[in-house]
Amino acid sequence: MHFRSFGNPFHPLDDTNTNTICDILDITSPLPKLTELQLEFHFNEVNVHETFLHPHPDSYWQRIDRQLTGGKYPALEKFKLELSCDIILEEPEIAFNKKTFLKSTRALFRAAFPRVCASKKIKFEIANDASVTREAGDDGYLDIGGSDSDSDSAPADAQGEF
């Protein structure tokens, strides 16, 4: 699991922590007995927009996609990606729709892993959840309504349908 504090914001194109995870997955010898892999990322962010976590072209996520399908994980049958976020909105002008964030993030992360999705042998599951609170002056913070989580899973042979 990768946990990020509020003082260390996520940088989608130049993020040392995510790059380290990619380096760990870049093994020199194949792992012929590893059948399942689960990566969990937890983000704590302040004053972000709904797009803050959306994958950029040729980012860390595509690197992980290439690593998992490049022959070093020949027995991999299941890959689960869990993304969770605690978001605090202090600026009143920031509009944030939690349901839109969850659905669009899941769809874009699926697109960021084209090789895993195209694989006939790897079942790919994405789960994401978010807690979003807005500063409410003297009243502290208020939870923004909407769904708290969104996930999907598809058998390896049905993934091309997404």
pLDDT, tens digit, for every residue of 65-100? Answer: 999 999 999 999 999 999 999 898 988 888 888 888
Give 52's pLDDT tier (boundaries 50, 70, 90): confident
Whether 88 is covered by a domain: the verdict is yes
Give 2's pLDDT tier (boundaries 50, 70, 90): very low
User: Rounded mean pLDDT of the chain?
Assistant: 82
Expressed as residue numbers, the domain containing 60 is: 2-6+14-21+33-161
Whether 121 is covered by a domain: the verdict is yes
Counting Cβ atoms within 10 Å, is residue 80 exposed (0-12), middle (13-18) or buried (19+)?
middle
Report how far residue 63's alpha carbon sits from residue 95's, in angstroms, rounded to the nearest whole number: 31
For the whole model, what pTM was predicted?
0.80
Whether 152 is covered by a domain: the verdict is yes
The residue type at 99:
K
Whether 26 is covered by a domain: the verdict is no
Whether 27 is covered by a domain: the verdict is no
DSSP code for 7? T
Question: What is the domain count for the chain?
Answer: 1
Q: Who has greater pLDDT, 18 or 27?
A: 27
